[in-house]
Amino acid sequence: MNTLDERFTEYIGRNGETVLVDGNSRTVFFMSFKEGITILNDYMYLFTQAGEVSTGVIIERNDTKYLVTHQEGNINGVYDKFLIREITKELNFIIDNEAVAVPSIIYDGVQRVSDSSYLSVFEGKLEVMICDTTQNQKIEANDRFITFGNAWKVIGITKTDKGLIKLHCDKDLIADDDDMENEIPKGIIIEEPTPTGAYYIDGKADIKCMSLETFTGIKIENDIIIPSVWAFTLEDNENDVEFSITGDDTCTIKSQESSGNIVLTGVCDGETIIKEIDLEGLW
């Protein structure tokens, strides 16, 4: 171990603090970031053992999250110096049909360290920096998010810095089904329930004239009849019958005919069951 390595190891052991780096425990230390004589509280310098941190990872210090945005340098292979910035907020994107909170840095008119340019939220422009992860790589142009009381649309994506994704965004129209209170954009598709178990309609295959018969929708899972809700409809084929819904899973049919055929249809969990019923005379 060289002298610099010994001194750094001693210093970080004495003055360092334990944080989470993408969920893994690491010992690091921080220094304030100054622009001229002004300390910028949302920026900090981070010092770590060489190779323990890289750009694009999330640092969790107490209850605050930071994104590692730039590597300032590596000192003789002993330690690394990074610039980090406090996460502005977690933006909700629809990824794989779920609302996913993505830790983000929002440039909304604050001077950027990289090129000193400005982006103005008042002009309907935002730039967002996020980690380059497998999940975040699924964010595409035209994806939307809600913040600052407005809807925003991704119009471009750049990956010029290792470990980082930049989203270039324009203000978008607010949709009727945008959840402005919880800042969740529209886009979640409500899928029809997948049929499970076995289904059938229990009841006679024929109805005698002037008789009233009850029909019950049955759902079975693991050989057990479980409660279910059915939607019944009847195709009477112009026969004189009386059809009534009597419960979540039952209906009745009364026949005034001595011959004919009717069709009872029941739907449960997206599964459609059809039962053909003959109409017969009194004897």
For 121, the 3-state DSSP assignment is: helix
Kindly report, residue by residue over 171-183, the tens digit of the pLDDT.
Answer: 999 999 999 999 9
Domain that holds residue 123: 89-172
Task: Please report, for the domain that includes residue 222, its CATH number.
Answer: 2.60.40.10
Amino acid code (one letter) for 232: F
Confirm if 171 and 65 have CB atoms less than 8 A apart: no
Q: Which of 51, 86, 121 is the last residue of a domain?
A: 86
Q: Which residues pair with 57 in a beta bridge?
A: none
Q: Is the pTM here over 0.75, yes or no? A: no
Confirm if 66 and 26 have CB atoms less than 8 A apart: no
> What pLDDT band is residue 113 in, cutting at 50, 70 and 90?
very low
Q: Is residue 133 part of a domain?
A: yes
Q: What is the pLDDT of residue 114?
A: 45
Do 204 and 265 belong together in one domain? yes
Q: Is residue 180 part of a domain?
A: no
How many domains, the chain?
3
Kindly report, residue by residue over 208-225, the tens digit of the pLDDT.
Answer: 999 999 999 999 988 899
Q: What is the pLDDT of residue 138?
A: 96
Kindly report, residue by residue over 47-80, the tens digit of the pLDDT.
Answer: 998 889 999 999 999 889 999 999 988 888 888 9
